């Protein structure tokens, strides 16, 4: 059943959409179950926020049971923290937790109305997932990706063998949430050439119901956030490797000089050094512009396995 919060967001979206027809609302009102693929930090965060803010059941899929167990343990920790700070009651916490339905089977997504893929930035993996989703999910379901760099048009194209048949590819979109999802308000809405306006309207309304502030971006390498952020981080790494400044001085001047909460090198550690490299490679390869060439030190750190916070060592030790 659609929640009061989601209903208000849908009605507000309808009033604000130019040349609006009844189709987007009809599609959005069918969001009775969400699917999330990937039980890592991003996927778990998306699932938890959707359950808490929108109140919809969430099918959480990950082929690795250990990842599911780790993700649910993290969810329990976040909910317990909210209870301890009196943000929610124990009863509300139990209700939110009961809405998360973990599974290792993609076939469990056969009854979802909206699915968000949140797996690592590996093009072949995402293409394979969307090819499967086109076969598993109902014909009305919106197929969203949390990709931070891969073309939405290319992802959408994997859902059909006939490019002239856009019945499925028109329902593919990117809802790129910012990390950590429970805290960050921003979400990028990126459309492919095939994406319909109905899909855009529904995705925006659903993200607003999750308490997020959507920004729309064209399907261009890096989109908005990473097109701006990653060259900034890459340049900071170049400054370090060429001796322009020390690690601490680079981070300190950006924190104290531009009022950002975290310096670029520490931020790279939290994002993941390998993720930064993957995105810089996409920017460089797809634009051919030398200003996006990944730093030599960035490549070396990935080769060394120094991936940041998740590996225990990056520009800082954890």
Residue 43 labelled as part of a binding site: yes
Residue 41 labelled as part of a binding site: yes
The active-site residue out of 170, 174, 188, 234 is: 188
Packing angle, helices 273-287 and 264-271, rounded to 10: 100
256 in catalytic set? no
Residue 38 labelled as part of a binding site: yes
Residue 289 labelled as part of a binding site: no
Residue 126 labelled as part of a binding site: yes
**Edge-first strand listing for the sheet containing 114-117:** 100-103, 58-61, 34-37, 114-117, 142-145, 172-177, 186-191, 213-217
Residue 47 burial (CB < 10 Å; 0-12/13-18/19+)?
A: buried
Residue 66 labelled as part of a binding site: no
d(CA 164, CA 173): 18
The active-site residue out of 196, 226, 234, 295 is: 226
The active-site residue out of 13, 93, 146, 148 is: 148
Residue 30 labelled as part of a binding site: no
176 in catalytic set? yes
The active-site residue out of 117, 176, 234, 295 is: 176
**In this structure, are strands 34-37 and 114-117 parallel, antiparallel, or unpaired?**
parallel
d(CA 94, CA 139): 32
Cα torsion angle, 61, 65, 66, 72, sign: positive
Residue 1 labelled as part of a binding site: no
Structure tokens at 3: 């929640």
Residues making up the binding site for NAD(+)? 38-43, 62, 121, 126, 148, 179, 310
Catalytic residue positions, numbered = 148, 176, 188, 226
Residues making up the binding site? 38-43, 62, 121, 126, 148, 179, 310
């Amino acid at each position: 059943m659609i929640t009061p919060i989601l209903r208000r967001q849908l009605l507000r979206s309808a009033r604000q959409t130019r040349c609006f027809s009844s189709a987007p609302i009809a599609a959005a009102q069918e969001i009775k179950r969400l699917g999330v693929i990937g039980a890592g930090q991003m996927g778990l965060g998306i699932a938890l926020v959707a359950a808490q803010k929108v109140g919809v059941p969430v099918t959480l899929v990950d082929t690795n049971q250990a990842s599911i167990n780790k993700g649910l343990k993290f969810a329990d920790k976040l909910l317990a923290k909210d209870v301890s700070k009196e943000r929610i009651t124990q009863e509300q916490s139990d209700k939110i937790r009961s809405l998360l339905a973990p599974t290792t089977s993609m076939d469990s997504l056969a009854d979802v109305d909206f699915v968000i893929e949140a797996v690592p930035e590996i093009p072949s993996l995402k293409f394979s997932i969307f090819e499967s989703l086109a076969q598993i999910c109902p014909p009305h379901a919106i197929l969203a990706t949390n990709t931070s760099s891969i073309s939405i048009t290319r992802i959408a194209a994997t859902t059909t063998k006939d490019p002239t048949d856009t019945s499925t590819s028109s329902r593919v979109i990117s809802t790129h949430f910012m990390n950590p999802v429970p805290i960050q308000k921003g979400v990028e809405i990126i459309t492919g050439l095939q994406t319909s306006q109905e899909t855009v309207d529904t995705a925006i309304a659903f993200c607003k119901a999750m308490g997020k502030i959507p920004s729309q971006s064209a399907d261009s390498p890096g989109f908005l956030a990473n097109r701006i952020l990653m060259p900034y981080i890459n340049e900071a790494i170049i400054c370090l490797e060429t001796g322009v400044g020390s690690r601490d001085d680079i981070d300190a001047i950006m924190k104290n000089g531009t009022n950002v909460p975290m310096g670029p090198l520490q931020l790279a550690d939290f994002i993941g050094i390998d993720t930064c490299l993957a995105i810089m490679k996409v920017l460089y390869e797809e634009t051919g512009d030398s200003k996006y060439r990944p730093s030599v030190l960035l490549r070396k750190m990935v080769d060394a396995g120094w991936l940041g916070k998740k590996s225990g060592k990056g520009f800082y030790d954890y």
